[in-house]
A and B are shown apart, each in its own frame.
Chain A
């Protein structure tokens, strides 16, 4: 065990069992998986992406490029989990990934031997010969070798929640700056949310041995958190990553509610996706250590100096027996001293600078830490790091060490600041990029903007928060800022050790080497985006947080530009990767989208209906009876029963729009191609409306219920669209019209009965209303009551072509009405039918429906052109007169029947003249709808074919190669049944 005997923010009274690659281990509450692995002497944790090189733990945070594992098992398997941020829980099981057969022995590490061949751009220059082998051989091999972890094996069993939150100030990051900011704003009375990705507030204070107000800095953290927790206007969100900045002060955040537990407790989501709307935001996300590039800088045991300190101080885990620190700055020295005090054996501090500040030298001397100034690490050895070769003025020296802690300076966590496209700005004095233009309302404080001193972090957090809430009218009184002492720390830019031995990695996860940067430079891929794309620098799961700046600085050296002018690639959301399931929330499975049952849904289910999705609606598709062997047999029965007796169907899904006002008729005249202002009260009329581009938008019947009162029906699919269109016409085009509208689709249940016996059935449910042919003729509308006092509207309209009525009652009465009609119709053998039979009957009648109103057809195409009034303007009139709409060869709507009556027709078949080949040039149109007509005893179809109405009686090919069909069909009139409409009027 490499657990240090004392110290650390772990709870030694709470041991936790866990396993890695099947091996049982123990850690403590407060550990991360990474710290627990180190404490168990596990140094080899993963394999790299391209060369499958052995890798250890590099960092102690969410920027981790190396230590990716598969966490949990089976349906809960989470690939690519960063061991550095996985909070240890009892029973945790993790496995290494991207290796075969084992982590220790990975066959694909031979890729490393091919390294000289597999440089940047390698793929683009080869695998082209012969062409066919790419999909068959090369690519499958590449795909199998690539990838990282494996997806879960079954649907994710956990649930996810979605919450909204609103605040005055969102503080992102709960370190020194963030805590002071939240305190300052919280005390002012502003609504504050403080979010931190860690499971413990404090940021770097947790890993540093510092003092605030002459006491251990941890005491400050505890006091601050306690005060914040007690403020009612402050919400603390630990384990919460603010992952994206969006418009309107909206932030996306992910709270890991139960990831630190073996399983989510009952009624608890695994994670919660927050949408936080903040008037102001303050980014206090800190900074991370950046590596230095040299040969062999990827061996397990090489880690950031910050990580060494964090593991030693916060987790009391010693990452290795002896550590060498290699740096170009003073932070790493402090890290080394802290680690030494925690119990780590520091063999040497190697600093590239010829002269380190005297005060640091003094400290080193006091602690007995050896210092090599002007030194560079030029090689490392050991499969797991065993020694480090240092070159200095005195020559080369090999130093035994299991840990090499490196720091090439700090990179502020600027990610969120560039989500609106703001480019980070290079500051030479800190050799790092700091935020440029931020999203509106966002400020930055502390290390995230390059202020690394603890004292300045505390002061800036307070000051920025005070300014932010002052802008909102809160008076932030001058909070005394706690005092901290730290010395100015300097950094000398240094990126790459020239002449070091072995592959030198820039991007550890994607195995991008210093040589790859050189290749990119040579071949002209010098712009940062080209460099990234050509070499894959920064495209791994860490998004280059530890590699981008170094890589582009190395390119800057090659091009002779300065780093600032070279610039950096932009960070995009999410800041750290976010589980898809969390964003989706409850919208999955059957709950992906809302389900709209019709008013008679439960009744239909009791009748044994099979349902079909119609947009969000579920409609009864057909009602099979025992003994029926397939859907067609059922549908034939339903059609026949309706045409010979009476049938019943719920048509509540049609859109219903109530239109009232003195100008209602004039309004309808402008939206329909035909006229409605002349429609008598108590009558209905079929109407067609166009889009302004002249194409048919929708159709339906509209009734006049009163002098100033109309009720429009729309198709089920277009109900919302038509309503929005009407509101547009009214509010935007003609606000001068005095018309009011409301959608009443859901307020009314509407049931259609059709068939020769329909009237006989209807008479039994109306309350003394005269529904005779004289009193309620075809296209007549009556209002009254049914079922002893239920308000009802009765429309004598028909889609089936039979004598038909649609009876509308308040939605809650729908089921009762259906049952009453069924009872009343029982003596006539009333038969419930579904959308399939409805479709058959409308095709037999040659009515257009959704398949014909497909957004590509004009009224003229559909044979409805003569309905258009020539005496008025209406939406779509002008553009429906364009040349293409009037062309001779344009398609028109006709019927089709098989020349051989036994042939089955298929919608989607194209029409070809006989004797012509099946090419685009010979394409004359297509079949839109087909049905088997039980009345005619063969399949019938509707379709659009060039000059169709002139070609009645002509035979053409219905060509359907995707289903192997090619049959002769005869063009006919679209109305197969009762073309004169006599049945409607009886």
Chain B
């Protein structure tokens, strides 16, 4: 029996040499069949399993993970949470995600360090200001918070930015105070532990190698640990989606791209929340450990290599120095790449199908982390009810056929520009 984490459990363990803890989740062996199989033990997959069990009472669920849980993008992102989207297809979904973040730790009894220290998007021109006003208004209309700051407002929130010697002067910013960061690994572990407690099998080192189909219906998967049958199979494998759907002869509106993220050596507190440059690709926050966590644009070419190249490293550091010239002597400690499932309109897909028995959750671009709770919640709903919830009603796969794209950036069907 896994104990609840509390002040008392901590004290008791401190006094007994930390010997009383138990595994955070069972290292389950796969059963021959489940009601639902979720492929992918990242944040989205584990959240899906948790909400299937909690919200829909579907507990005969397996999460299959080819490595160990959280080893994909869930453990490689820059941990930002926000609901500052523009379009009506997106904003209510992300605001629901934010609300789930706000109650997550108590819900799953795990401190994921959800920290609402603010997300500030800078603007550097009148046109950008107007675009952010439009966005800020969209956010308010969906029940989110937003503040349009002028330059003085930005100076008050982030006095350490370069206001005086900038190629693209800071004119103001759009601030979402409820935005912030969460400890990405802890999100994975929290969902895993909570889902496990509700009976979900988390099966690690279990790679899906094929699909079992009967009369055109997906009824299970072949894995490195043997065949497993299921009433429904949901895919939540981000950048690896096309590798799996290829086994079903499906082509998707997705390309896999590499995004590099960076962390610096630790520093005493400097950056309060998340700051995003509006005249270059750069965003930065500071982790509780003190490292600046930052990143920029994707490299721009299709890649499954989980590593990028120097032009983007340079671009990111240049933008960082343009924005915060006092960090010139601070050192980059580590960089790493993740495989982004870049979609053709920059927005995700959570849908039934396209084959009977199959359910898709993909297309998160470089923004999947913040969506984790709502993605799991909506995918669980979609799996349970065989229909999307209103919150993911716009995330249909056929939107490209009908023309209902959700293109926040307005760059069209070119994934590397989103």
> Taking the complex as a whole, does A directly touch B, i.e. does some CB pair lie under 8 Å apart?
yes
- B residues near A961, Cβ cutoff 8 Å: 136-137, 140-141
Give which listed residue, A152, A153, A856, A962, contacts B133 with CB less than 8 A.
A962
Do B116 and A135 touch across chains, with their CB atoms under 8 A apart? Answer: yes
Q: Closest Cβ of chain B: how far from A514's Cβ, in Å?
A: 11
Q: How far is the CA of A196 from the CA of B324 in the complex (A)?
A: 31
Do A919 and B410 touch across chains, with their CB atoms under 8 A apart? Answer: no
Q: How far is the CA of A607 from the CA of B78 in the complex (A)?
A: 47
Q: Report B1-60 residues with CB < 8 Å from chain A CB.
A: 5, 7, 9-11, 13-15, 17-19, 21-25, 27
Q: How far is the CA of A148 from the CA of B331 in the complex (A)?
A: 12
Q: Closest Cβ of chain A: how far from B124's Cβ, in Å?
A: 7
- B residues near A909, Cβ cutoff 8 Å: 133-134, 137
User: Which residue of B68, B88, B280, B289 has the most chain A CB atoms within 10 A of its CB atom?
Assistant: B289
Do B335 and A125 touch across chains, with their CB atoms under 8 A apart? Answer: no
- B residues near A584, Cβ cutoff 8 Å: 314, 317-318, 320-322, 328
Do B305 and A579 touch across chains, with their CB atoms under 8 A apart? Answer: no
Q: How far is the CA of A788 from the CA of B115 in the complex (A)?
A: 69
Do B7 and A129 touch across chains, with their CB atoms under 8 A apart? Answer: yes
Q: Does B248 sit at the interface, judged by CB under 8 A?
A: no
Q: How far is the CA of A674 from the CA of B130 in the complex (A)?
A: 31
Q: How far is the CA of A156 from the CA of B75 in the complex (A)?
A: 32
Q: How far is the CA of A539 from the CA of B309 in the complex (A)?
A: 22
Q: Does B215 sit at the interface, judged by CB under 8 A?
A: no
User: Which residue of B19, B143, B189 has the most chain A CB atoms within 10 A of its CB atom?
Assistant: B189
Q: Report B296-350 residues with CB < 8 Å from chain A CB.
A: 305-307, 309-310, 313-314, 317-322, 325-336
With A128-B105, A613-B124 given, is the CB distance from A151 to B326 under 8 Å? yes
With A583-B332, A960-B133 given, is the CB distance from A920 to B309 under 8 Å? no
- B residues near A160, Cβ cutoff 8 Å: 328
With A146-B289, A421-B306 given, is the CB distance from A589 to B325 under 8 Å? yes
Do B410 and A146 touch across chains, with their CB atoms under 8 A apart? Answer: no
Do B10 and A117 touch across chains, with their CB atoms under 8 A apart? Answer: yes
Q: Does A832 sit at the interface, judged by CB under 8 A?
A: no
Do A919 and B141 touch across chains, with their CB atoms under 8 A apart? Answer: yes
Do B407 and A139 touch across chains, with their CB atoms under 8 A apart? Answer: no
- B residues near A533, Cβ cutoff 8 Å: 70, 75, 185
- B residues near A78, Cβ cutoff 8 Å: 329
- B residues near A125, Cβ cutoff 8 Å: 5, 9-10, 110-111
With A250-B310, A525-B24 given, is the CB distance from A580 to B68 under 8 Å? no
Q: Closest Cβ of chain B: how far from A882's Cβ, in Å?
A: 3
- A residues near B321, Cβ cutoff 8 Å: 156, 580-581, 584, 587-588, 592
With A252-B313, A908-B132 given, is the CB distance from A124 to B110 under 8 Å? yes
- A residues near B102, Cβ cutoff 8 Å: 131
Q: Does A565 sit at the interface, judged by CB under 8 A?
A: no
Q: Does A951 sit at the interface, judged by CB under 8 A?
A: no
- A residues near B386, Cβ cutoff 8 Å: none
Q: How far is the CA of A921 from the CA of B213 in the complex (A)?
A: 41
Give which listed residue, B169, B289, B410, contacts A856 with CB less than 8 A.
B410
Q: Does A247 sit at the interface, judged by CB under 8 A?
A: yes
Do B167 and A595 touch across chains, with their CB atoms under 8 A apart? Answer: yes
Nearest neighbor of A879 in chain B, beta-carbon distance = B403
- A residues near B115, Cβ cutoff 8 Å: 134-135, 139
Q: How far is the CA of A536 from the CA of B289 in the complex (A)?
A: 10
Q: Closest Cβ of chain B: how far from A5's Cβ, in Å?
A: 37
Q: How far is the CA of A203 from the CA of B347 in the complex (A)?
A: 52
Q: How far is the CA of A855 from the CA of B410 in the complex (A)?
A: 4
Give which listed residue, B106, B135, B165, B322, contacts A128 with CB less than 8 A.
B106
Nearest neighbor of B325 in chain A, beta-carbon distance = A155
- A residues near B314, Cβ cutoff 8 Å: 583-585, 587
Give which listed residue, B71, B133, B265, contacts A577 with CB less than 8 A.
B265
- A residues near B13, Cβ cutoff 8 Å: 119
Q: How far is the CA of A244 from the CA of B262 in the complex (A)?
A: 14
- A residues near B125, Cβ cutoff 8 Å: 612-613
Do A529 and B75 touch across chains, with their CB atoms under 8 A apart? Answer: yes
Q: Report A674-699 residues with CB < 8 Å from chain B CB.
A: 691-695, 697
Do B189 and A910 touch across chains, with their CB atoms under 8 A apart? Answer: no
Q: Report B127-177 residues with CB < 8 Å from chain A CB.
A: 127, 129-138, 140-143, 146-148, 162, 165-169, 174
Q: How far is the CA of A49 from the CA of B23 in the complex (A)?
A: 27
With A75-B326, A80-B331, A119-B18 given, is the CB distance from A923 to B318 under 8 Å? no
Do B290 and A519 touch across chains, with their CB atoms under 8 A apart? Answer: no
Q: How far is the CA of A593 from the CA of B321 in the complex (A)?
A: 12
Give which listed residue, A117, A143, A543, A885, contacts B288 with CB less than 8 A.
A143
Do B410 and A588 touch across chains, with their CB atoms under 8 A apart? Answer: no
Q: Does A720 sit at the interface, judged by CB under 8 A?
A: no
Q: Does B120 sit at the interface, judged by CB under 8 A?
A: no
Do B335 and A572 touch across chains, with their CB atoms under 8 A apart? Answer: yes
Q: How far is the CA of A591 from the CA of B318 in the complex (A)?
A: 10
Q: How far is the CA of A518 from the CA of B21 in the complex (A)?
A: 10
Do B322 and A589 touch across chains, with their CB atoms under 8 A apart? Answer: yes
Do B10 and A153 touch across chains, with their CB atoms under 8 A apart? Answer: no
A-B CB proximity, top 3 nearest:
A855-B410, A908-B133, A581-B328
B residues with CB within 8 A of A:
5, 7, 9-11, 13-15, 17-19, 21-25, 27, 67-71, 75, 88, 91-92, 102-103, 105-106, 109-117, 124-125, 127, 129-138, 140-143, 146-148, 162, 165-169, 174, 183, 185-186, 189-190, 204, 264-270, 279-280, 286, 288-290, 305-307, 309-310, 313-314, 317-322, 325-336, 401-405, 407, 409-413
Jot down 22 A-B pairs with beta carbons below 8 A, ordered by A. A79-B267, A126-B7, A144-B269, A147-B289, A147-B290, A148-B266, A150-B268, A155-B165, A155-B325, A524-B25, A530-B70, A573-B334, A577-B332, A578-B332, A579-B329, A589-B162, A592-B166, A908-B130, A908-B134, A920-B91, A920-B141, A962-B137
